[in-house]
Amino acid sequence: MAEMQTAPAGAGAGRRLLTWVDNRFPLTKLYNEHMAQYYAPKNFNVWYVFGSLAMLVLVMQILTGIFLTMHYKPDAAKAFESVEYIMRDVPWGWLVRYMHSTGASAFFIVVYLHMFRGLIYGSYRKPRELVWLFGCAIFLCLMAEAFMGYLLPWGQMSYWGAQVIVNLFSAVPFIGPDLSLLIRGDYVVGDATLNRFFSFHVIAVPLVLLGLVAAHIIALHEVGSNNPDGVEIKDAKDARGNPVDGIPFHPYYTVHDIYAVSVFLFIFSLVLFFAPEGGGYFLEFNNFIEANPLKTPPHIAPVWYFTPYYSMLRATTDLMVNILAIILAIAAALAILRGGFRAPAKIAIAVAAIVAVFLLKAFDAKFWGVVVMGAAVLILFVLPWLDRSPVKSIRYRPGWHKYIYAVFVFFFLVLGYLGSQPPSTGGNVVSQIGTLVYFGFFLLMPWWSRLGTFKPVPNRVTFQSH
């Protein structure tokens, strides 16, 4: 325990109070560690505002959520009506509701951009693996939060979306049907399901989410922020031991972020007041019809932020499973012939490949669709160990690496678009190609990320003052 400090003689009441608190709680210490003396690289660009914006949206979602909970009824017979009641009869209820529903989409826009920043500047590389892992866990929680929240208005899309996702679990061999029964709490999506999703949405997942956000920030402030050059600023320190290329988060980046917040809120308000449904992408039109368990709407699609994964699920047909089996066999053959492994390792690869191909054919394509969808999210977790490039930032990678990232982003967007469209033969072929590109990008990364001529990385960050 630190020794009791005393305020200097003649100090004002505020200073004396702060000293009193600091002797009992590390208030000044925390403030310095995370704000006034947290040194962030001075060369941040616009990509670095999305972390703060994500925090802003999180706070907004929690606040609006608290107020919505005061009027909403988690009852299959009353839920739809209570949302309409909030929209029409509760004073300013429409604003709170639209802030929450638009906020969900804004959250994913901000988080996708935040993740893309990490991807291009190598922010997940040593020593920031845990920052990335906590971030991926946050992304997973957000998806759960968004999915369960979407059931609550009890519209047609809520109902049939939940029906589809809960049935995903029933595709798991052996335990699947019991598992989906356990999630629904009934033989069909119904009152029991709505009630438990409400509980998860308003308390269980947000608690986990807040804990993970705290862990994400603590881990970040332990290792320090990366920057667009991927240079460690801690390698060059001044006489006082502070990074020469670092500037205190407060006031420099708080001002920077407040500017970004203003721009963000400007755009957010435009959507909120003029297009809260986001053209049917943020709030689907079918969700303004009450849930009807006897009739699926003619076209059902998840909300936009899930569509890339939904496309991959739809792309996994019997044909796709056969293609995967062939790719697996070729990969195993190449690993054995060209990989330079020892004999026991070669045998292990051959056995593993045979077992994998057998399993691919043994279970339904439906199950593998679920696996592909899950793997598409979970593969993000291993990214720090897939990237073997000698430099972190895209700035110092071979020029053609940029095209790989461009192709990846292009197909991710195409998958997202196709997932929002009705199924079609042509679209299915494109989404199968997109799925292979998505997984190829990650699974071949240990190979391609080492190829090419890398540019020399400077010792210090590049920065021009304005």
* Residue of 127, 206, 276, 297 interacting with another protein (CB under 8 A): 297
Q: Is 423 one of the binding residues for another protein (CB under 8 A)?
A: yes
Rounded CA separation 211/76 (Å): 31
Please list the alpha-helical segments (H only) found in 23-128. 27-31, 50-69, 79-88, 93-121
Amino acid identity, position 68? L
Q: Is 369 one of the binding residues for another protein (CB under 8 A)?
A: yes
* Residue of 130, 164, 265, 443 interacting with another protein (CB under 8 A): 164
Only segment of 58-66, 83-91, 156-164, 225-233 that touches another protein (CB under 8 A): 156-164
Q: Is 298 one of the binding residues for another protein (CB under 8 A)?
A: yes
Q: Is 235 one of the binding residues for another protein (CB under 8 A)?
A: no
Helices (runs of H) and strands (runs of E) counted in the chain: 19, 2
Rounded CA separation 391/384 (Å): 13
Cβ at position 40, least distance to another protein in Å: 37
Cβ at position 313, least distance to another protein in Å: 7
Which residue lies nearer to another protein by CB, 16 or 295? 295
Cβ at position 373, least distance to another protein in Å: 11
Of 62, 91, 34, 39, give the one whose Cα is nearest residue 246. Answer: 39
Q: Is 361 one of the binding residues for another protein (CB under 8 A)?
A: no
Contact residues for 56 (Cβ-Cβ < 8 A; gap 6+): 261, 264
Of 244, 241, 240, give the one whose Cα is nearest residue 232. Answer: 244
H/E stretch holding 119: helix 93-121
Q: Please report how many Cα atoms fall inside a 13 Å half-sphere around the Cα of residue 237, on the Cβ side.
A: 7
Which residue lies nearer to another protein by CB, 228 or 419? 419
Q: Do residues 438 and 376 touch, judged by C-beta distance below 8 A?
A: yes
* Residue of 92, 174, 187, 274 interacting with another protein (CB under 8 A): 187
Residues 311-330 interacting with another protein (rule: CB under 8 A):
313-314, 316-319
Rounded CA separation 77/225 (Å): 49
Q: Do residues 325 and 360 touch, judged by C-beta distance below 8 A?
A: yes
Q: Is 201 one of the binding residues for another protein (CB under 8 A)?
A: no
* Residue of 279, 293, 390, 452 interacting with another protein (CB under 8 A): 293
Cβ at position 291, least distance to another protein in Å: 12
Only segment of 17-25, 61-69, 274-282, 360-368 that touches another protein (CB under 8 A): 360-368
H/E stretch holding 414: helix 399-419
Which residue lies nearer to another protein by CB, 384 or 427? 427
Amino acid identity, position 136? C
Please work out the total of residues on this chain that contact another protein, with binding judged by CB under 8 A: 41
Cβ at position 179, least distance to another protein in Å: 10
Which residue lies nearer to another protein by CB, 78 or 346? 78
* Residue of 299, 361, 450, 455 interacting with another protein (CB under 8 A): 299
H/E stretch holding 350: helix 343-362
Q: Is 265 one of the binding residues for another protein (CB under 8 A)?
A: no
Q: Do residues 149 and 201 touch, judged by C-beta distance below 8 A?
A: yes
Which residue lies nearer to another protein by CB, 292 or 459? 292
Q: Please report how many Cα atoms fall inside a 13 Å half-sphere around the Cα of residue 174, on the Cβ side.
A: 1
Tokens 């070669």: give the residue.
346
Residues of this chain that interact with another protein (CB under 8 A) are: 160, 163-168, 171, 181-188, 190, 192, 196, 293-300, 313-314, 316-319, 364-366, 369, 422-424, 428
